[in-house]
Every structure is written in C-alpha cells, then in structure tokens.
Amino acid sequence: MALSDGSGSRPALAVPVLSDAERFKLDAGDDALFYAEPRFVQHLDEAFRTRLTQLYRERIPPCATVLDLMSSWVSHLPEEIRYDRVIGHGLNGRELEANPRLDSHWVQDLNQHQRLPLDTASVDAALIVAGWQYLQQPEAVAAELLRVVRPHGQVIVAFSNRMFFQKAPQIWTDGGDRDHLAYVARVLLAQGWDPPELIAEATRARGPLGWLGGHGDPFFAVISRRPAG
Ligand SMILES: C[S@@+](CC[C@H](N)C(=O)[O-])C[C@H]1O[C@@H](n2cnc3c(N)ncnc32)[C@H](O)[C@@H]1O
C-alpha cells in the first residue's frame, strides 16, 4: 500500500533553483477554483498521446507501482498492460474518479502544499503530463518525488507547447521548448536525480493532415532515475 498519511507534514528539503520573479504567474487566484469544474477534454492531440503511450510501454515494467501526478480523467498508460498499482493525484476529484486506470487517488494543490501523502521509496515510476508548467514550487515537488520513488525508479515529465498561460509561472511563459527541457532537467538535477535523458520530437498529425506532412503536438519528455544511494 503506497498511500499513507505521510510520516510528517513537511516536504523533503529542496535546493532552490527559481527566483521569486520566476515563480510569478498572471492569475494568482486559487488553483483549486480554476480546476473546480471538471474538464472531460483531451489536453493533447492524438499524435502526442500515441507517442506518450508508446514511451510508457517501453519504459515502465508491468509490475510497477505508478504515480500519475497532476492527472485528470486520462493517464495515457497502455491499455494492454496491467500495473501493480496506479495512484493518481490532481486538482479535480470528479476527473480522477472517472479515470479508469487509477486504483486510488487524492486531491492536493501542489502550489500550496508539496508534501506527498505517500510512503518513502514506495513508487517505481512517477509521471507528470502537461502539469509541470503550473508548478510554482517545482524544487519541493521534485524533492518529494525523489523521496517517494524507489532507488533506480524513474520520473517521466512529458509536455508539449500548450499551456493555460495565466496559470503558468514566468519561468515557463518566458521560455521556449528548449528552455522548458533545460529547466525541468535543472530542477531535477539540483534535487539529486540522475542526469536526465531529454526527448524532443515532432509528431505526425493523424488523418489526411498527416498524410500531407502536417504535424501534431510536439513531444517533449525529461526522464531521470533515482540514484541507488
Ligand atoms: C493540462 S491538465 C493535464 C492533465 C493530465 N495530466 C492529462 O494528461 O490530461 C493540467 C493538470 O495539472 C494539475 N494541476 C494544475 N495546477 C495544479 C496545482 N496547483 N496543484 C496540483 N495539480 C495541479 C491538474 O490536475 C490539471 O488537471
């Protein structure tokens, strides 16, 4: 059982990377209110989702305990693979209840509280899809993920070039795709994650547009392992 009330209320100690200005976002209103109404939509197009599911198929072993942090009603995991356990987190309980891949879930605003209610070294693969760009305290979240992921376990942060602009901190809104990759890698490295692997790929649009060479949402991922020590 990976869900717990945590052995304390404080997040793991984090090494600061961002300045206060880089954490600033245009809409400083409550994130929980912004996500209060469920959005049963796909945030990423089919080409991106297909690439992401293929990455999961290749990288996450079937026996894994998986954490889908900043999730919704979809987790993009391959349908044919049964994992030991899939734990979901997000900001909208109704979306998470509707997610067929989740064995359990909880709701928590990570910009308010970063301590995760999970046991230390209880997760094999931690996933964040189209969510990192909304973190104002990414260092503390990355440090908590380092705590809850087992030695040799991994974190996979995937994103494209879309965002709710007003909800993304300045470090994200001011940068381009390459900056985003470098930024996520920098935060992970600073908390003690292994040097990350970076993936940046164009995707091919589905259907007639794709036949004509049209692109889908670009695919970016940062993958890192937790060192053994
Ligand atoms: C664009 S959606 C992506 C959802 C899902 N990962 C997917 O692939 O469809 C962004 C998600 O980030 C999460 N999120 C945004 N701000 C958050 C915050 N302050 N605390 C916790 N989660 C947050 C919510 O769960 C929201 O559904």
CATH number at 103 reads 3.40.50.150
Taking 90 as the threshold, does the pLDDT of residue 140 lie above it?
yes
Average pLDDT for residues 178-203, to the nearest whole number?
Answer: 98
In a domain, 173, yes or no: yes
- Can you give the pLDDT at residue 74? 98
> How far, in Å, CA of 91 to CA of 76, rounded?
18
Q: Which atom of ligand 1 is nearest to the CA of 95?
A: 27
Average pLDDT for residues 185-206, to the nearest whole number?
Answer: 97
Does any ligand 1 atom lie closer than 6 A to the CB of residue 136?
no
In a domain, 14, yes or no: no
Q: What is the DSSP letter of 171?
A: H
Taking 50 as the threshold, does the pLDDT of residue 169 lie above it?
yes
Does any ligand 1 atom lie closer than 6 A to the CB of residue 74?
yes
In a domain, 4, yes or no: no
Residue closest to 114 by CA, chosen among 4, 23, 203, 6:
6
- Name the residue type at position 189: L
Q: What is the DSSP letter of 193?
A: P
Range of the domain at 170: 20-225
Average per-residue pLDDT for the chain: 95
Taking 90 as the threshold, does the pLDDT of residue 163 lie above it?
yes
In a domain, 205, yes or no: yes
Does any ligand 1 atom lie closer than 6 A to the CB of residue 172?
no
In a domain, 93, yes or no: yes
pLDDT class for 3, splitting at 50, 70, 90? low
Least confident of 26-40, 118-132, 203-217: 203-217
- Name the residue type at position 220: F
Taking 90 as the threshold, does the pLDDT of residue 208 lie above it?
no
User: How many separate domains does the chain show?
Assistant: 1
pLDDT class for 198, splitting at 50, 70, 90? very high
- Can you give the pLDDT at residue 179? 98
In a domain, 133, yes or no: yes
Does any ligand 1 atom lie closer than 6 A to the CB of residue 88?
no
| Ligand 1 centroid from CA 175, angstroms | 20
In a domain, 109, yes or no: yes
Taking 70 as the threshold, does the pLDDT of residue 146 lie above it?
yes
> How far, in Å, CA of 20 to CA of 32, rounded?
22
Token duo for residue 99: 């997610």
Residue 96 CB neighbours (<10 A): 22
Percent above pLDDT 70 for the chain: 97
- Can you give the pLDDT at residue 10? 83
In a domain, 58, yes or no: yes
